[in-house]
Structure formats: structure tokens, C-alpha cells
Structure 1
Amino acid sequence: MKAALCPIGAAALVCSSVLSAQAAPGHRVVSPISGTDTLLFDDTGALVHTWPSDFKVGMACYLKENGNLLRSIVTTSGPSGTGGGVQELALDGTVLWDFRYDTGGVLSHHDIEPMPGGNVLLIAWEELAPQEAIAAGRAPARISGITRPDHIVEVRPCGPGAGEIVWEWHVMDHVIQDIDPDRSDFGDVARHPERIDINFPPDRSGGELNHLNSIDYDPTHDWIVVSSSFQDEIWIIDHGTTTAEAAGSTGGRHGMGGDLLYRWGNPASYRGASSGEQVLFSPHAARFVSKGDGEPPHVLVFNNKSSPHSEVLELTLPFDGERFVRPSCAPFGPLEASWSYSAAGFDSDLMASAERLPNGNTLICSSMQIRIFEIDARGQVVWEIDDEELSSFPFHATYTARTLWVDRPSEGCATYEVRFDLMFGTRHRDEFFMLMPTPRRRPKIAWALPWEVCLSAQGFLDESGRAGITGDVPRAVHPEWIGEFVEYTARAFDLPRRGSDSTSNTIRLECIP
């Protein structure tokens, strides 16, 4: 086998950023909402890669575990935050999956969540005609046409242009109201905080009921967290249910079906306290923070319209290992955040996000200021890009530690051409690198390549800290190799200091007939 070193010649666009060794190594993914491109910035603030698209971003963008980009797209017009579709793109921009959820009275919007195993969670609206909303207990005075409650669907990709809905949850299965005793959802709102008052907030009319704007998943506890801009809350629901259980109030891991396990931010929404005890105001970007060692995760949330400035809050969830604990005759805790960040001039009344990084730093996107920055545990800014580097408002910014990618094999040819892409970032410009294989034994991975000889390469990164390696791999593989796999890792070396400077993520490739 011959391997060719193919340096990528495009120079990095160096941004005006705060350069600090305290910034988390890795990349930040951003999609300005008025454009079609998704951008990848390294830990110095340099723009090192762009995914082009024919569609405007439908707000959200993430890198999947396999290194592909998952982003929502705008396919139609609609209320603020409208999407309508999701695409998965390879590093070179090839569209690998294109799924639409924009017909038949449903429309995906705002956020998506890539799940372990490849499924995707979508937030979406469904349409209720006025008579349907009234039948559900919505006060007629609050109806001015189509009513749009939220729901969540989990989609399993099925081929390049299709998806199967394998699980779903609907707000309308869990509403309560106290204005019409003849309706099946009539009840005492204060006695049922696990249900959602269809007439709250009392001063809001128009189409949307909830305006869910973020979604995240905790695989350890099988929980989903969402943020509701209109209820001024975060909600946690049980994903460990069947779709039938998610439509009811029994079953699942917690025995509550699809009812809310936990809510926080505005106890007036379930009449658990007065409006004076409200903490969240139009929140966005509820994100789990893994604590490890079997402990329940914390939650980060961006509190957009808090006074006098926006703030980021970290909550310690009141979970005792079996259930979320609520004090008698009191709102759900905690009473105070376990960590918070705010600063003079820090304000984003719309959109925005915060994400805890592996090194303990926090990546913050102040959307309306067109500002993305990273702070350490003391609240000191250690990395930043500003509006000079972004074309318009970003909905959020997300993080990836990935620095090594591999493409899929080409089809219909005598050999497979395999390409590895290294992107260590401009901090590692001109450094020596090695791509190193290590044969391993099982388990198999989701997609496979035939390998006869382990590909390895070495050379120097270009001025953007990037390089490409290609190799032609014969189809024929010796039978005793079948089912085995090879792990690939790249390392960059700072030769003047005589040491390894950075190690990439690991990629596994399987040997097949």
C-alpha cells in the first residue's frame, strides 16, 4: 500500500481573539443564522474549516460522535425559530442524510440533539385548530387562530433521505386546566406540578404555547431536559418510556410516564409560589453537566432576561437516586444556583447558550451581542471571538475535542481510497505529526473498511495546523483479518521542546471481506 501526504493548502483565517493556554483544546462549531455556512474555530480563535450548504441554518449545529456535522435547516417559513429539516454532512460537505419534518401540521424548530447510537431528537410544533384548543381547555380569549403546542420526536435515520420516528412525547398529553370542569384534563393545577397548565402564562395569547428552544439528553439516567421560553422554566422528562407510556402518567423508569419529573425557574407556572419567586426569564440552552461517579448531572441554563444582566446558572438537581425531591408546600429546589456567571454589559435577550467543557471552562454564546467566549472557573475570559468574525447572530456555539477525521470508502472501484484529515489547529502550525495504527480485536463499529496493511504516515502540519493523508486500500483481505479492527491516532510533536504536544481522538476501522 502506498500512502500519500496531502497537505491542505487553505490558510486559516486568524481572528482577533484572546489567546490563552487555559482555553480548552479543541474546536468550536458555530452557524450564524442569516447564513448558510457552518464554521469551525480552533482554540486560538482561527477559522479552520467551513461546511457550505444550500440552506440557512435552522438554528442548531453539532458534531456527532463519528465526526460528521449534524445541523438543522430552514425549509419553509413559520414562527421565530422555524427549521423544518435536519442534515448530516461529511467533513467535505457531502450531504449524507437529509430528513424533513415540515408537513402534515408539524414543523421542527430551534434545537436538535444527536443521541448515542445515531438517533436524533427534534423539537417541533403541532397545529391545533381553534375548536381543538378549546376542547383541550384553552381559554377562548387566548386563541387567535392556530395554536402550536410543542412535541419531541426521536428519529432513526433510514437511508439518505428518510427517517423513522421511534419515540415521541407531546405537551398536549400532559396538560391541565381549571376553567372547564367538563373537560377530561380538568384539575387542581397546584396539586399537579407534573402537568402543564394550558392557560399559563395568563397574559399570553397567540399561537405558541411553550416555545421550547433547547433540548439535551443524559444517557446515564435516560432523561431529556428542555427549556421553555414562555413558561420561563426548564423541564426534565423520562425518556425511558415507550411512546404509549410517554403519552400517559404511568410506566417508564420513574413510573410517571411522560409527566414532568422536574421543573425549575418559575413556580408560578404550577402555582407553587408567587411570581415574586421567579428565577428564570426567557431561558435558553438547558444543558446537562456530567459529574461522573454515578452522581446525577447538574444543569446549565442561560437566563436571558434576568436583571440587571443576562446570566448563566448551574443547578444541582435535587435527585435522591430514585426521584426528584420537592419540599412540602414549597417550589422545586434548589433555592440558589451552585455556580453562576454574569458581568456588566453581558446581555442577550434572545437565543444564546452555555456549555461546560472537559477542562472545567464554560463556553458562552451571547447571541444578540454576536459574541462567543470562554471563561475559566473564576469567570476570567480565556478565549473570545466577536462580531468581526461572524456574519450575523449565532443561535449557539458547541464544542468538540475532535482533531482527526476519516472519510467513508468510495464505491464501485478496484480499490478503496481512504482519507484522514488532521486538524490540530493553528497553535500547532508547522509541527511534526505521526498517524499511528494499532491493531485491536473487536467489537465491530457501525461502518467498516477492508484493511490488508495498516496505513501510517508522518510529515509536517501546514500553517493552519492541518494535514491530509490518503491511501489506496485493496479490496482483498486475508480471511484471518476478517472482523478485526485497527485503531488510528495522530500525534503532533513540538520538536524544539522534544515532546508530544497533542494527541488526537481515536478512530476505529474494521476489516471486512
Structure 2
Amino acid sequence: MKIKLPFFILIFIFSNSLFSQNTIGLLENTNEAYDGYTLFTPESSNSVYLVDNCGRSINTWTFSDTPKFTCYLLENGNLLRVGATGVEIRDWDDNLVWSYNLLISNGITQHHDIEPLPNGNILYLVKETLTEAQQIALGKNPALLNGPLSSEKIIEIQPVGTNAINIVWEWRFADHLIQDFDSTKSNYGAVSTNPQLIDFNYTDASIDHSNWLHLNSIDYNAQLDQILFSSRTLSEIYIIDHSTTTAEAASHSGGNQNKGGDFLWRWGNPQVYRQGTAAQQKLYAQHDAKWISQNYVNENKITVFNNNSDGSNTFSSIHIISPSLDLNNDYMLESNSFLPADYFWSWSGDILGETVYENKKSGVHALENGNLLLCETKKGRLSEISQNGDIVWMYRNPVGETIFNQFATNAEIFESNSIFRGEKYHKSYPAFSGKDLTPGEILENVNSLSETCSTLSITDVQSIDTNITFNNPVTDQTVSFYKPLEATKIKVYNNLGQLIYTKSTFSGNELKLPHLKQGLYFIEFIKQGTKQLEKMVIK
């Protein structure tokens, strides 16, 4: 079978001797990295950056204020970002398309995350304040009161014109409470038999009852028409039905699942609904829960960044979770706890010899090929991790209030270059259609890895019917093939993409390359109009 590959193949080169000197910008790049453009917004800068795998600038947008906190590249090429006081949409050329001052115009206190919808609307996480009197009326134990309560709601807005909105849908936590403290107050019932509701009096030593929920991410699944969000304080993630009306969202019936705005699924800490023990808790102060996109490896599963991985305050981890659905598309429980019982996939470990541990913010973004893009907020670092747990690409934000020198020390840039998240988009993403994607300069002043990052263009590349394999790394300057080759043309390129060797026709199982020194090369096989390109390390 002949498999058509993209029109061009990007080959990324790095030198370990140079790598040890780098502190920002491109830190590592291998040919296992996902071939795309990475979007990130520094927390202390008004600008948003799109870079390629070599760390070169593809585009930059400049907004009116610093972020709060995330941004999204829309399919039409526009960039959506919430700032400290409002929200803006800018086109590819950085022209302002639409803006709305949330605080001044409507008293909306948006925080942490937003989510663009396919219809052009936007979901917002919004703070909602409940007075102590309102809390007591809803069944709060007075012993837990700590002044006004910062509760949460989700609103869906429709951008109108260039500077207005319509609020078209709303969901409130306060409409989905359960309490067994006071039978004379609202929401009285049995907590353990109502997992679709939130225990208004749940508490542990870490909970501040003035900031009871602390939502930090929101995501949308168009196929299911459902919303996923994360509560740092309760160490749970939740799914609700978006197909409801606002009235149904405030009730316990209606929508596709006929459960109104009640939780369809929750996961991470079953103790919150009085099921299981501490041994069953899986999430601790997590962030950035998201569905994996359709047609991606592990599609429709959920990724999450687990800040305090096992509750020990010593390391963080990233996970893939696979919820279980029955034939009616209801999320399944076992022993009164929502499934699954454990993670589908997990990673925790070291990066550059240091244990990954982020006690706030941070995130993880699934890529089409199964790799995961890990964001460490305080370090401003993005690391792409393969399903095997290997670090295949790494980039550290070089931008704070100013551009840092590439060789700045950690002490000089610590948290000054923080980023809330990063996302990587494939080069076929619709936003890039018809755009000038010519790589520009790197953001920092110098980066030796970016300078040696090369592009090798091969037109109309196809793979050979039977893939050619050989012992790699190559020893004794001899390429030993697993199966003998017949009448195959061979080309060898150096780490700058320059052609340094050609063999017009080769047959046999050993190819001598005595003139090549130790290092990284690329070897191309051509036979009957098809081509195969492989990385080759010579020891």
C-alpha cells in the first residue's frame, strides 16, 4: 500500500552540547514532535504569539490589556482573548473586530477560562456572590459561613455588532444543591443518593467557604452538546447538558438527557458526594479538563492536569480519563460512584532533571497524533510528551514585560514569563488557509537550536510499499538493513538539510558511509517514484 504523506516534511535538528546552554525559547525538538504551530499568551504581556516548531514567529497579536487568562484561535483566523477587564476578537492582521467591556458594561466577573462555540457564541465562567443570608436560606450550615460566598455560574453570550452582547443561556451552581443539615431550608435531602447535585455543606481542611468552588476551566463537546468544567477546591470535574433552555438548566429535567442542569457525570473525588474513601480520590486541585477532539488518538476521552497529583504536594501529573456510557448515553456508576475507577493513561516525571510540580494553574492539550502538550505555568514552559512518556519538543516562553535574554538565569525570569496554557494547531487547521505563514524571527535575541532547525522540502513524497528499516544508531559507519534493498536510490542530508551523499542505485544489506562523522543525518530512499525519509544517527 502506498501512503501519501504531506507535501513537505519538516525535520528538526538539535545539539545536546548547545541544548545545555539554552534557558528560553526552543529547548528541544525531535522529528517525533507534532508538526504544527503553538499558540500562547504570556500572563504579563498584552501580546499573543504563534510560533512554529523551530520557535520562529508565525504571527503576533497585541491586545488592550493583559490576559485573564486564555485565548483561542478560531477557524476563521480570528483570535479570541479575554483580558483583565474585557474580551476582544482580532483578525489575523491584528485588527480589532469586536470587543466588550465585561465589568463596566454588565458587571460580569469572568475568570480563568472561556470556550468558543461552533455557532460563534462564547461560554464564560462567571463569579456569582451569595450573601450569608442567601447561603443560610439555601441550607448552608452557619458554622461554615465565612462572609459572602463566591459561587459560580456559566453564561453563554452572543457577540453583537462590534461592541455588544446578548446573554442567551445561563447555568448556576446554586440551582443544583443538596443539603441534609436543615430540613426547614431549601435543597434538603440525602446527599449520598443524589450524586447529580452538589453537597452545599461539604468541607475539608483545605476549603475556604468564601471561595467554595473555584472553577478554573470549561470545555464543550459539540457531538454530545455537553459542557465540561473543573473545580479546583472540590477536586472534581463535571459534565452538564447544554441542550437545555435556561429555565431547564435551573431545574432537574429537560434537555437531551432529561436531567435539566443536574450533573450528568462527575469525577475525581467521590467523597464530595459521600461515596468511597480517600483511597478513591484521584484528582487534587486539578486544572484544564478538556475532551480530546474527534478523529484524534483517544478521541472523546478527557485530559486533565493534576496539580497535586496524590495529595502529597510533591509532584504533578497529567491524565487521560475515559468515562463510561451505557446504551442510553447515560454515564455509568458502580457502587454509587461514577466510572471509571482509575485513569486510562497517566504521566508524571522529570523535565531537565527536575520533578514536574505546579501548585497552581497549568494544563495539558491533546494533539492529533496522541502526543500531549504539557504547560507548566510558573516556568512558562511547554513540553510535548509522547504516549511512551518521551519529551519530543520543548519551548520556554521568552516574553515577560520585556523580551528576556536567551541565557537569563531561572532566578531572573522565574514566574515573570508565566503562561496559563498553550495550544498546538496542525498546519491544516482552517485558520491558516490563505494566510502568509512564512516563518519570521525568533522572539528572544538568539537561540542556537532555532538557528540549526532546518526545513527539508520533498515534493510529492510517498512511502515505499514495504518500509525500509535499519539498525539505528549506525555503528562503524555502516548502515545495516533488516532486509536487503534492490535497485534503490539513496540520498543523505546533513543536519542543515543539505544533500551530502547520493547513490543512484543500491542493492544489498549494508551501505558504507566512511566519510560521515558522528552526528544526526537524514537518509532518503527512492524507488519506483516513491520516497521514504528517516532520521539516522551515526555513532
Is the shorter-chain TM-score for this pair beyond 0.5, marking a shared fold? Answer: yes
Which stretches in structure 2 are left out of the alignment for 5+ residues?
A: 1-23, 401-415, 441-449, 460-525, 533-539
> Are residues 406 and 386 of structure 1, via their aligned partners in 2, closer, same or farther at CA, if it must alter by over 3 Å?
closer
Q: Distance in 1 between matches of 2:286 and 2:197?
A: 20
Equivalent residue number for residue 40 of structure 1? 50
Decide whether the 8 Å contact of 2:380 with 2:419 is kept in 1: yes
Percentage of matched positions with identical amino acids: 34
Decide whether the 8 Å contact of 1:405 with 1:422 is kept in 2: no
Q: Does 1:422 align with 2:437?
A: yes
- Whichever residue aligns with residue 397 of structure 1, its letter is G
SS, match of residue 248 in structure 2: helix
- Whichever residue aligns with residue 118 of structure 2, its letter is P
Equivalent residue number for residue 315 of structure 2? 309
1:217-236 to structure 2, matched below 5 A, reads: 217-236=220-239
How many residues get paired? Answer: 408
Equivalent residue number for residue 420 of structure 2? 395
| Residue of 109, 120, 124 corresponding to 2:111 | 109
Most deviating of 134-143 and 242-251? 134-143
> Are residues 232 and 404 of structure 1, via their aligned partners in 2, closer, same or farther at CA, if it must alter by over 3 Å?
closer
Equivalent residue number for residue 212 of structure 1? 215
Shift in Å at residue 389 of structure 1?
5.5
Shift in Å at residue 249 of structure 1?
0.4
Q: Distance in 1 between matches of 2:125 and 2:89?
A: 17
* 1:206-247 Cα distance to aligned partner (Å, 9 max, x none): 422211100111100111100100110110111111111111
TM-score (norm: length of structure 2):
0.70
SS, match of residue 305 in structure 1: coil
Equivalent residue number for residue 93 of structure 1? 94
| Residue of 150, 153, 157 corresponding to 1:151 | 153
Equivalent residue number for residue 136 of structure 2? 134
Q: Distance in 2 between matches of 1:423 and 1:243?
A: 46
TM-score (norm: length of structure 1):
0.73
Equivalent residue number for residue 479 of structure 2? none
Q: Distance in 2 between matches of 1:401 and 1:99?
A: 30
1:1-400 to structure 2, matched below 5 A, reads: 15-75=25-85, 85-102=86-103, 106-203=108-205, 204-290=207-293, 292=295, 297-307=300-310, 308-322=314-328, 323-328=330-335, 330-344=336-350, 345-386=355-396, 388=398, 391-400=416-425
Larger Rg: 2
Tell me: higher relative CO, structure 1 or 2? Use CA pairs within 8 A at least 6 residues apart. 2
> Are residues 364 and 31 of structure 1, via their aligned partners in 2, closer, same or farther at CA, if it must alter by over 3 Å?
same
* 1:187-214 Cα distance to aligned partner (Å, 9 max, x none): 1111101001122224423422211100
* 1:119-162 Cα distance to aligned partner (Å, 9 max, x none): 11111111122211221122223333221111111111111111
Q: Distance in 2 between matches of 1:190 and 1:139?
A: 18
SS, match of residue 239 in structure 2: strand
* 1:73-106 Cα distance to aligned partner (Å, 9 max, x none): 101xxxxxxxxx3211112221211123325654
Q: Distance in 2 between matches of 1:110 and 1:371?
A: 19
> Are residues 52 and 389 of structure 1, via their aligned partners in 2, closer, same or farther at CA, if it must alter by over 3 Å?
closer
Shift in Å at residue 372 of structure 1?
0.7
> Are residues 101 and 201 of structure 1, via their aligned partners in 2, closer, same or farther at CA, if it must alter by over 3 Å?
farther
Decide whether the 8 Å contact of 1:296 with 1:317 is kept in 2: no
Most deviating of 365-374 and 136-145? 136-145
Q: Distance in 2 between matches of 1:406 and 1:365?
A: 23
Decide whether the 8 Å contact of 1:18 with 1:44 is kept in 2: no
Q: Distance in 1 between matches of 2:97 and 2:183?
A: 51
- Whichever residue aligns with residue 338 of structure 1, its letter is F
Most deviating of 132-141 and 312-321? 132-141
Q: Distance in 1 between matches of 2:257 and 2:429?
A: 40
* Root-mean-square deviation over aligned CA pairs: 3.1
Decide whether the 8 Å contact of 1:41 with 1:49 is kept in 2: yes
Which stretches in structure 1 are left out of the alignment for 5+ residues?
A: 1-13, 76-84, 408-418, 434-496, 502-513
Q: Distance in 1 between matches of 2:360 and 2:437?
A: 36
Decide whether the 8 Å contact of 1:29 with 1:39 is kept in 2: yes
> Are residues 296 and 239 of structure 1, via their aligned partners in 2, closer, same or farther at CA, if it must alter by over 3 Å?
farther
SS, match of residue 276 in structure 1: helix
